[in-house]
Amino acid sequence: GDSVTQMEGPVTLSEEAFLTINCTYTATGYPSLFWYVQYPGEGLQLLLKATKADDKGSNKGFEATYRKETTSFHLEKGSVQVSDSAVYFCALNPRSARQLTFGSGTQLTVLP
Amino acid sequence: AAGVIQSPRHLIKEKRETATLKCYPIPRHDTVYWYQQGPGQDPQFLISFYEKMQSDKGSIPDRFSAQQFSDYHSELNMSSLELGDSALYFCASSSGQGAGYNSPLHFGNGTRLTVT
């Protein structure tokens, strides 16, 4: 079945550090890929998405590139802020289904 | 902009009781999804509805049922509650077929259910 494997957390960084959260997936066909962010006590918010190979999703300084050859969708940000502290979920949506499969989430804490 | 509204935000029930969670999707969204997120866990898909018909079913227990009404809001009914049902329940909505693929899911803030 379809699955998403995320880098285990928690991840603790200093402000302005470089962030990478690894995400790899297993799926038949060509799924769409997403990163969602969850702030404490809130629902999941779409951060960025990519719908085909080599697409780059970007938002709020975060980027991720859909790499079909390595089945990866790693999240990166060049300079993190304290306000980026949250849980980040990688997710995929296969074209055959109307649902998302999530990774296990990565807790990010950014220290001032 | 209008978001997905869930009610109640918090709910405390005892074992063997029933609970009803409500979800009001973003206007003009025709697809609703329910997810269950246990403590420290990733969200697990329960069930979804498209145009008031069940479209996909995930790991929803037989004790749970759901439906989508004519105004597109949805309700998740949970009976014979167990301690293990304590979790955050999210509703999400999207528009159009192939939802999620080209139309990302928009999540509500969830209902935190505690079963004692």
Residue of B nearest to A10 (CA): B40
- Tens-place pLDDT, residues A76-95: 999 999 999 999 999 998 76
- Tens-place pLDDT, residues A22-66: 999 998 888 889 999 999 878 889 999 998 899 999 999 999 999
How much is the average pLDDT of B68-96? 94
Residue of A2, A44, A89 to mutate, interface with B, max B Cβ within 10 Å: A44
- Banded model confidence at residue A97, pLDDT cuts 50, 70, 90: low
Per DSSP, the three-state class of A40 is: coil
Flag if A103 and B104 touch (Cβ within 8 Å): no
